[in-house]
Amino acid sequence: MSKKEPLETSQEALEASKEFAENFAKIAAQSQEVVTEFLNSQQPTHIDPDPATVSKTFMDLMNKMMADPGKIIEAQAALWKNYMDLWQNAALRATGQEAKPLVSPETGDKRFKSDEWSQNQIFDYIKQSYLMTASWIQETVADVDGLDKQTKKKAEFYTKLYTDAMSPTNFFWSNPDVLKKTVESKGENLVHGLENMLDDLKRTKGQLIPKMTDETAFEVGRNIAVTPGKVIFQNDLMQLLQYAPATKEVYKRPLLITPPWINKFYILDLKAENSFIKWCTEQGYTVFVISWVNPDERHVDKTFESYMSEGVLAALDAIEASTGEREVTTIGYCIGGTLMASTMAYLAAIGEEDRIKATTFFAAQLDFEEAGDLLVFTDEDHIQMVESKMKRGYLEGKEMANTFNLLRSNDLIWSFVINNYLLGKSPFPFDLLYWNTDATNMPQKMHSFYLRNMYQKNLLQKPGALTLGGQPIDLSRIKTPIFIQASKEDHIAPFKSVFKNTKMFSGPTELMLAGSGHIAGVINHPAANKYQHWTNTKKKKYDTAEDWFADATEHAGSWWPYWDKWLSKKSGPKVPARDPAKGKLKPIEDAPGSYVKVKAKPYSENDGGGSK
């Protein structure tokens, strides 16, 4: 038997070589098909003139850097010293001596979690060399003097995008997981990867955007957004959903939730086990939610003011008509919170502030001076570029989706490049990513107003600087009790920015800081036992978010029960539960309604956009 082992080994090697050869022949053929598909799809309509104003930004950066050559030499010397230290460490380790890493990935950086990045000397050297260089580039750019605030922010952001793109994890020969998979599968992963790439090119009409999830695994109203309820009102801009009660008695004052229209409302109702809406009904609230329309050519004249009058104000009137209740409590999430605050200021101006007895803001900004990385996309050059894309009267959903993906490129772009193209895997069915890719369009007039007046000019926080419904808006006239939720790692509505909300109103405010980011910081069901939150009950005025946090108390788990205690005291006595099918307004259809099911077509045959 032992005499046959070399023959068997030889035969296995031959078979393996044959499989490799066959797979790499497929790779060659598919590579040609990928290139052909890409070239054929590159029509002039796909080409934007420097869409991110990157060239101008880096031209300004280089001019400022060259004005101080001594600083450049000093920075280069520091980098050379770092390389020498790294080489010395590598030499020590090669001789079997212990050498602690000179640089390590930041907490939360998932790119280098494979053991090979630490245990294999070659890959450990590649990793440290990359991290060292990336950090040096980013610090050098951040240290350039003479740039205006906006150009500096853009330069730092684009530099981070570049260094993230150059990560060794993104390339075949420098990713140990990919190399291992290639050997194990005899190159089959690359065959599947090219198939995935070709499918993406065809799906996106030549724009290489990797698929994030298996979109066939989910359907709104079937296995997500399934909390029972009815659509009791609708107009051109929204449907108003009333959810079925889950308790025999409910609080007298209904709860109206105004979600952002940049994404769809069902982030609050993904699955039963993490649905905020379902949980609220279980706490005894009569829950109403605005489901915004996915705009198309019919909505080109809709403005920010339209979202107030046809959105929040229309919802308040419909709730009163259906339940007889004029007084409500409200929630505004993200831009929905910006709209809610604007609406409350309008109601205060016309003497009807008492319609809203308590308001909660989820990750909502009212002062945009420190509005995070999105400020990169709100200077005049970029806004004009965005406006040039709204030829149909609206911004296509794919544009906003691409912008938000850039804010977290490692998680929302490069991780899928590695998974789909290099490892050749199919994207995992994930409800959150399905929601993330369910894009919405933006009416031109509304979107330009929002970018210019909120982000660029920061007018909402200035008394009387904005006029809505013929009324100058002044947030300081709002006396309604306010609960403010912020998230510690939110890159869209940073804690520092949201903290400023505590200083804008005349009434009592309570701030609560949640762990995690813009989504997970909000959607954190108590049963999950995840993350933490911070509260501060000291009766003090704080100048900065850092001062508030220094005095705050940390609590394990979800903040929802804490908020429930706050809201329940402001929701009135208990009354018999309200059946949405038996209200004074005749139900139109079952929740989640039809508006939320309208998908923005991310790529059309002719010009890359459209809506159905």
My answer on whether omega of the bond before 573 falls inside 30° of 0, hence cis, is: no
The answer to whether residues 514 and 531 touch, using CB atoms and an 8 Å cutoff, is yes
Give ∠ CA 510-451-334 in degrees, rounded to 5: 30
Q: How far is CA 539 from CA 256, 408, 510, in A?
A: 29, 37, 10
Task: Count the neighbouring beta carbons within 10 Å of the beta carbon of residue 237.
Answer: 21
Name every residue whose Cβ is closer than 8 Å to that of residue 495 and which is 6 or more positions away in sequence.
486, 487, 488, 513, 545, 549
Q: Crossing angle, helix 188-203 and helix 176-185, to 10 degrees?
A: 110
**Distance between CA 301 and CA 611 in Å, rounded?**
16
Q: Exactly one of 334, 466, 498, 523 is catalytic; name it.
A: 334
Q: How far is CA 101 from CA 82, 86, 89, 116, 127, in A?
A: 12, 8, 8, 14, 10
DSSP 247: S
Q: What are phi and psi of 73, to 5 degrees?
A: -60, -40
The answer to whether residues 167 and 161 touch, using CB atoms and an 8 Å cutoff, is no
The helix (run of H) or strand (run of E) holding residue 330 is strand 328-333
Two tokens, residue 105: 């990935």
User: Which of helix, strand or coil describes residue 511?
Assistant: strand
334 is catalytic: yes
**Distance between CA 569 and CA 504 in Å, rounded?**
23
Two tokens, residue 564: 């429930």
Residue-level length of the chain: 612
**Distance between CA 320 and CA 328 in Å, rounded?**
9
The answer to whether residues 412 and 211 touch, using CB atoms and an 8 Å cutoff, is no
Which residues are catalytic, by number?
Answer: 334
